[in-house]
């Protein structure tokens, strides 16, 4: 049921119009009426009126002024003007107010009914579109965690640029820079991470987190290229929440979709190292470093083996595996 307000100072005409609407639209409309603009405004304050039908020539506040006030209260209200005059002199102002139609007096029952039917159909259509949009938003909210998870996996799997961009497009974001933080299971403190994400998003960033094998992967994306001051602030934020945790690694700041994977690899390499956030300098030479890394890994594994430290051995192997998994 929609609510319609009839504003007419002539009592006989007002009652006739109210009677017409109740007779022909009993199942569609709740009909209110007022004899002047001030009465109309009082009703508009208390009731969520969708349609207003007003005579132009009202005592005090005229019909167009009443419609203007009604529009300020509810921008979606649909208005009709009743007039016994040639309406061309009012056309400019009425168009500005978005008046749906003029109905000349004496009111034709056929004209009034056809116009009201059209307005009801218009409101139905508009509400249907709003409902569809709302449902779409709700659906997107439901699937957003899945899309974010797939986005993270596409980055850490070193997927094609087009695939990663597709996920960002689905999430309706276009990051200009970003960096990765990884946590091994025993360093992952959910409450701390949640507070960190909340504060970073308050600063205008977008955060995504998911588990990948035995590692929690957190990406922080910025919609602007970060200045040195931004980098210093973000590093301070990371230290505020995660300083002192052993099994955490912070990657370099990367400036495009293709290099977000490099930040992930860098974060894996930095697990156990002091927290330092810096710009990506020259990650093109990373592949040349793997031989050195393998030698270092073997040396550390031997040390852990001699200490019977199976936990550290497992950690080192897992991290190295994640680092090289998607490299040719």
Helix H or strand E encompassing 294: helix 290-306
Structural contact between residues 247 and 218, judged by C-beta atoms closer than 8 angstroms:
no
Q: What are the tens digits of pLDDT across the range 287-308?
A: 555 566 677 778 888 888 888 8
β-strand pairing of 215-222 with 206-212: antiparallel
Mean pLDDT value across residues 71-86: 84
Q: Is pLDDT at 43 greater than 90 in this prediction?
A: yes
Burial 46-64 (b: 16+ CB within 10 A, else e): eeebbbbbbbbebeebbbb
Predicted local confidence at residue 21, as pLDDT: 93
Please state the pTM of the whole predicted model: 0.52
Report helix, strand or coil for 41.
helix
Which domains are assigned to the chain?
Answer: 2-107 (3.40.50.2300), 142-324 (no CATH)
Predicted local confidence at residue 283, as pLDDT: 46
pLDDT averaged over every residue in the chain? 85
Mean pLDDT value across residues 74-103: 75
Burial label, 26 (beta-carbon count in 10 A; 0-12, 13-18, 19+): exposed
Q: How confident is the model at residue 196 (pLDDT cuts 50, 70, 90)?
A: very high
Predicted local confidence at residue 308, as pLDDT: 87
Q: Is pLDDT at 41 greater than 70 in this prediction?
A: yes
Residue (of 87, 117, 89) closest to 102 by Cα position: 87
């Amino acid at each position: 049921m929609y609510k319609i307000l009839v504003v007419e100072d002539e009592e006989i005409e007002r009652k006739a119009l109210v009677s017409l609407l109740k007779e022909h639209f009993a199942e569609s409309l709740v009909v209110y009426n007022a004899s002047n603009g001030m009465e109309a405004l009082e009703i508009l304050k208390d009731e969520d009126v969708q349609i207003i039908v007003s005579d132009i020539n009202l005592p005090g506040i005229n019909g167009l002024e009443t419609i203007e006030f009604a529009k300020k209260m509810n921008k979606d209200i649909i208005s009709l003007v009743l007039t016994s005059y040639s309406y061309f002199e009012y056309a400019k102002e009425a168009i500005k107010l978005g008046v749906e139609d003029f109905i000349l007096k004496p009111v034709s029952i056929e004209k009034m009914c056809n116009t009201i039917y059209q307005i009801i159909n218009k409101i139905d259509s508009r509400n249907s579109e709003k409902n569809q949009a709302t449902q779409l938003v709700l659906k997107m909210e439901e699937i957003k965690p899945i899309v974010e998870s797939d986005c993270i996996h596409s980055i850490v799997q070193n997927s094609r640029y087009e695939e990663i961009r597709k996920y960002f497009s689905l999430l309706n974001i276009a990051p200009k820079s970003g960096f990765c933080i990884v946590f091994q299971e025993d360093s992952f403190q959910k409450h701390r991470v949640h507070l960190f994400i909340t504060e970073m998003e308050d600063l205008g960033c977008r955060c995504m987190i998911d588990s990948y094998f035995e590692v929690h992967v957190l990406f922080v994306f910025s919609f602007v290229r970060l200045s040195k001051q931004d980098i210093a602030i973000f590093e301070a934020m990371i230290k505020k929440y995660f300083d002192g945790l052993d099994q955490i690694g912070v990657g370099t700041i990367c400036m495009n979709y293709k290099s977000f994977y490099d930040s992930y690899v860098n974060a894996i390499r930095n697990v156990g190292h002091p927290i330092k956030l810096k710009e990506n300098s020259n990650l093109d030479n990373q592949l040349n470093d793997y031989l050195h890394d393998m030698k270092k890994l073997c040396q550390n594994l031997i040390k852990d083996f001699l200490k019977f430290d199976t936990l550290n051995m497992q950690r080192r192997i897992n991290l190295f595996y994640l680092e090289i998994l998607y490299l040719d």
